[in-house]
Amino acid sequence: MIRRITSLLPSFLAVAAIFLALLPSAKAQTTLRGSTTDAVLWTAPDGVRGLVVALFEEARIDFLFPQTQGLTGPIRGEYFEGVNFDTHKLDRREIRIDFAYGGGGPGEGVPNDNFSARWSGQIRVERTGEYTFYTQTDDGVRLTVDGKMLVDRWQDMGTTEFSGKINLQSGRTYDFKMEYYERGGGAEARLLWSGPGTPKQVLRPIGAVAQTGPAADLEDKPLRLGVMDVNADRRADVLVLSSGFPGKITTLLAKQDGFFEEGGSVSAGNDPGILVVSEGRAAVLARQSRQIIVFKPVQGKLTQVNARKLDQKLRGLENLENGFAVLGEKSVLILGEDLADRSTISAEGAIALATGDLDGDGRADIAVLSSSGATAYYAKDNYQKSELFPGTKPGSDQATQALIYQRKIYSSTPAGIFQMDREGALNRSDAPGRIVRGESGLFVLETGRGQIRPMP
């Protein structure tokens, strides 16, 4: 049951679709509070896409949307010894001014006390109107935007917020400059803003993914998320698979005004682990009871339509056209939509599988990752085996997740995320995490640190 559902900020309901083009190139990342377990792409009632993120410990889901106005590029940071820009010590590019130095400082040769900083950059807005800029600093601060002094508090103080307002015009780029000094003791510096289309938040780069506040508090901890139009009103609703005992799927129905209403819940087995949503259906894999349970919307509510118990330990579930690929301990089972066996692929020791079109013929192939490497099974008359990367082990012996996107295989491992193409080229990103697939690209969700960033 949902204790509280608050609105998406209405300002986001008019965000243009152009951010889809911005996303893949954006390098900024967003840090969430608490541990995250899943994220899916979601479409707001007006067609704007954002991310829904499950925050496990806080039993909450949040909605994140890319910024369409804000910084046009990095901030130039200049750091000095002395409280009046006395001795230049360091130049560094920053992506936001959001520093809780505490008893420390910017580092890299800048002293922890008696230092000063000057940050300068440019902002651009989409909407004409009055914007408010907020400084939160310990100690002194000066802020100018478009040459106008909005905050002038060059004084010793504990962390204090000051603000100033300025009218900005759509499509124009404005210079800003924030100067700051720290005398001693605690140190903190932050620059926030608010205005049309932007709730009060830290000033971030255009294209960054930013949190818009809590969307829904849940009674049970959210484990996995899915998106589906449950009530057939052409608005994408959110399915939340929770880890309670027994587990359940709660449906959150998107309303026209941006609010949600609970659309009921269905039991999802005693030990739900994985939720797969596609083609108008949702499937849950319950690991311990070795069950696959399939749900479909019936008269606006999610209803269980099928269940099947399998005799192997189950490790993964992926969608196929008209069916599912199920990873067991010894084989991959290809099940039809009615969960009857269609075929079996031997896969002893396999630990992750992915489905998607690897060879571009429009049919979903299967990739299986095991300690010996990655194997592809192409959808022909049957699934035809093909060694993908002879001699390479693309992190596959410790994969926690595999995914096929644009004819490449992505593998999440504790050592990082591997990307493989059919020719065997292998790329690795160092930061581990869970990969989230969206139509506009991939995101990496660093579950431990709660960070989300677009995948380069």
Q: Smallest distance, Å, CB 184 to Ca ion?
A: 6
Q: Indicate whether 220 belongs to the interface with Ca ion (CB under 5 A).
A: no
Q: Which of 78, 81, 233, 397 binds Ca ion (CB under 5 A)?
A: 233
CB 30 within 8 A of CB 62: no
Q: Indicate whether 318 belongs to the interface with Ca ion (CB under 5 A).
A: no
Q: Indicate whether 280 belongs to the interface with Ca ion (CB under 5 A).
A: no
The residue range among 74-82, 114-122, 146-154, 235-243 that interacts with Ca ion, by the rule CB under 5 A, is 235-243
The residue range among 33-41, 45-53, 237-245, 380-388 that interacts with Ca ion, by the rule CB under 5 A, is 237-245
Q: Smallest distance, Å, CB 359 to Ca ion?
A: 5
Separation between Cα atoms, residue 242 and residue 54, nearest integer Å: 10
Q: Indicate whether 361 belongs to the interface with Ca ion (CB under 5 A).
A: yes
Q: Indicate whether 113 belongs to the interface with Ca ion (CB under 5 A).
A: no
Q: Smallest distance, Å, CB 185 to Ca ion?
A: 4
What is the x/- site pattern for Ca ion, positions 388-427, by CB under 5 A?
----------------------------------------
Q: What is the DSSP string of 381-410?
A: SSEEEEESSTT---SGGG-SEEEEETTEEE
Q: Indicate whether 357 belongs to the interface with Ca ion (CB under 5 A).
A: yes
Q: Smallest distance, Å, CB 251 to Ca ion?
A: 9
Q: Indicate whether 365 belongs to the interface with Ca ion (CB under 5 A).
A: yes
Q: Smallest distance, Å, CB 137 to Ca ion?
A: 9
Q: Which of 153, 177, 235, 287 binds Ca ion (CB under 5 A)?
A: 235
60 bridge partner residues = 55, 217
State the DSSP H helix or E strand holding residue 334, giving kind and residue range, or none if neither: strand 331-336
The residue range among 15-23, 81-89, 104-112, 234-242 that interacts with Ca ion, by the rule CB under 5 A, is 234-242
Q: Indicate whether 229 belongs to the interface with Ca ion (CB under 5 A).
A: yes
What is the x/- site pattern for Ca ion, positions 57-96, by CB under 5 A?
----------------------------------------
The residue range among 97-105, 272-280, 363-371, 389-397 that interacts with Ca ion, by the rule CB under 5 A, is 363-371
Q: Smallest distance, Å, CB 107 to Ca ion?
A: 17
Q: Which two tokens stand for residue 116?
A: 């000063």
Q: Indicate whether 188 belongs to the interface with Ca ion (CB under 5 A).
A: no
Separation between Cα atoms, residue 141 and residue 378, nearest integer Å: 62
State the DSSP H helix or E strand holding residue 46, giving kind and residue range, or none if neither: none
Q: Which of 133, 249, 254, 143 is nearest to 200 (CA)?
A: 133
Report the half-sphere exposure of 276 (CA within 13 A, side-chain side). 21
Q: Smallest distance, Å, CB 436 to Ca ion?
A: 21
What is the x/- site pattern for Ca ion, positions 167-186, by CB under 5 A?
------------------x-
Q: Which two tokens stand for residue 83?
A: 């409280």
CB atoms within 10 A of CB 82: 14
Torsion angle defined by CA atoms of residues 181, 183, 184 and 186, in that order, rounded to the nearest 10 degrees: -30
Using Cβ positions, the residue closest to Ca ion within the complex turns out to be 235
Across the beta sheet with 222-228, what order do the strands follow?
Answer: 222-228, 237-242, 248-254, 260-267
- Tokens 């307002």 -> residue: 165
Q: Which of 375, 378, 383, 382 is nearest to 420 (CA)?
A: 375
Q: Which is nearer to Ca ion, 217 or 359 (CB)?
A: 359
**DSSP 8-state class, residue 21:** H
Separation between Cα atoms, residue 245 and residue 233, nearest integer Å: 31
Q: Which is nearer to Ca ion, 116 or 413 (CB)?
A: 116
The residue range among 14-22, 330-338, 362-370, 380-388 that interacts with Ca ion, by the rule CB under 5 A, is 362-370
CB under 8 Å, gap of 24 or more: what pairs does 234-242 form?
A: 235/43, 235/45, 236/42, 236/43, 236/44, 237/263, 238/40, 238/42, 238/52, 238/61, 239/275, 239/277, 239/282, 239/302, 240/54, 240/61, 241/268, 241/272, 241/275, 241/284, 242/218, 242/272
* Count of chain residues binding Ca ion (CB under 5 A): 13
Q: Smallest distance, Å, CB 280 to Ca ion?
A: 12
Q: Indicate whether 359 belongs to the interface with Ca ion (CB under 5 A).
A: yes
One-letter amino acid for residue 295 of the chain:
F
Q: Which of 38, 58, 62, 138 binds Ca ion (CB under 5 A)?
A: 138
Q: Which of 38, 126, 179, 237 binds Ca ion (CB under 5 A)?
A: 237
Q: Smallest distance, Å, CB 70 to Ca ion?
A: 28
One-letter amino acid for residue 279 of the chain:
E
Q: Indicate whether 137 belongs to the interface with Ca ion (CB under 5 A).
A: no
Report the half-sphere exposure of 429 (CA within 13 A, side-chain side). 18
- Tokens 């690991």 -> residue: 287
Q: Which of 38, 139, 179, 337 binds Ca ion (CB under 5 A)?
A: 139
Q: Which of 67, 231, 355, 413 binds Ca ion (CB under 5 A)?
A: 231
Interface residues with Ca ion (CB under 5 A)?
Answer: 138-139, 185, 229, 231, 233, 235, 237, 357, 359, 361, 363, 365
